[in-house]
Amino acid sequence: MGCSYSTGEQTEIKTPEIQSVFKKTSIPQYDSFYEILNTAFERAEKIRSDILSVKRRCERITNTFKLKDSDNFINDIKVFVWSLSVNAGGDIQKFHVRTTTDLPYLLMDESLIISLANKALYEIYKEYMKLSTNSFRQVRDIMTEVDNKEGKIKEMTKNLGKEETNGKISIFKRRSLKKTLQENKKIYLTALEKTKELLAHTEKLKNEVETNVKLLNDIIQTADVIGKKAVSMGITDPKDIFDKFHTGERKSNENQDKSVDSNKPVDPNLKNRV
């Protein structure tokens, strides 16, 4: 049975997009200040986007988006490990699977994996675990760069009066710049709030990894129970393995049918993979 992308509903991480396109002031020191902020917020947005992208890629192979608890990556790990057992004919240790105390926490002889779907899932697994382990520290560092800048923005607005007194800018230009600074303050505060939400989310992911790593050995040791059953039934596609053997509570059919990616074409490179 082939493995293809699902067009079902995909997980949305609980953080909105971070947008920080500040308006230009034409005052070099002001624009430099905003550029530094913008660069930091862009780094935060890339982290947010990467986490969401990797999780979606995984769900398209595993079908875990159907679960009410679809956010927790442990569900994807289970389907991946079960699928490895199926790929090994019900004997997962053919791949020399073992756990470690460091990233990626799960190792195996990748050269023995013949399923392209499992090869893809292992790469996704490693990428997601790395992101989940490191992103909290990265976002925390970004917060130290961007937090508590309201005073600086207020000072910049106040200094416009001095520039006017010194004849460097006109009264009309000052009014326009003051409006620009007010708009930039709103952009800053919105981006800051969203970055704080991302910080909380990445802390949750870090804690989730610490919990899930403790479950890996048990998942590996019991994988062949599922693997042997699936092999006897001719089930090899990770999505079908999930549908048949994952007992987690599902979302309603209506929610499963609402897809954020339903209008995107299926990746032809992931069709008919075993």
The alpha-helical segments, DSSP class H, found in the chain are: 28-62, 74-87, 116-146, 150-165, 171-213, 216-233, 238-245, 253-257
* CA–CA separation, 56 and 62 (whole Å): 10
* CA–CA separation, 36 and 41 (whole Å): 9
The pLDDT of residue 105: 97
* CA–CA separation, 82 and 162 (whole Å): 69
The pLDDT of residue 159: 82
Average pLDDT, the chain: 86
Using DSSP, state whether 193 is helix, strand or coil. Answer: helix
The pLDDT of residue 266: 36
User: What residues in the chain have per-residue pLDDT under 70?
Assistant: 1-15, 161-172, 254-274
Residue 108 located in a structural domain: no
Task: Show the domain range for 224.
Answer: 29-89+115-262
How many CA atoms are closer than 13 Å to the CA of 77, on its beta-carbon side?
25
Residue 84 located in a structural domain: yes
The pLDDT of residue 158: 82
* CA–CA separation, 114 and 157 (whole Å): 63
Total structural domains in the chain?
A: 1
Residue 166 located in a structural domain: yes
* CA–CA separation, 185 and 193 (whole Å): 12
- Classify residue 263 by its DSSP letter: T
Residue 270 located in a structural domain: no
User: Are the C-beta atoms of 30 and 156 separated by less than 8 Å?
Assistant: yes
Residue 20 located in a structural domain: no
The pLDDT of residue 212: 96
The pLDDT of residue 14: 57
- Classify residue 89 by its DSSP letter: T
Residue 216 located in a structural domain: yes
Query: What are phi and psi for residue 232, nearest 5 degrees?
Result: -65, -25
Residue 100 located in a structural domain: no
User: What is the tens place of the pLDDT at every residue in 10-42?
Assistant: 444 556 799 889 999 888 999 999 999 999 999
Residue 188 located in a structural domain: yes
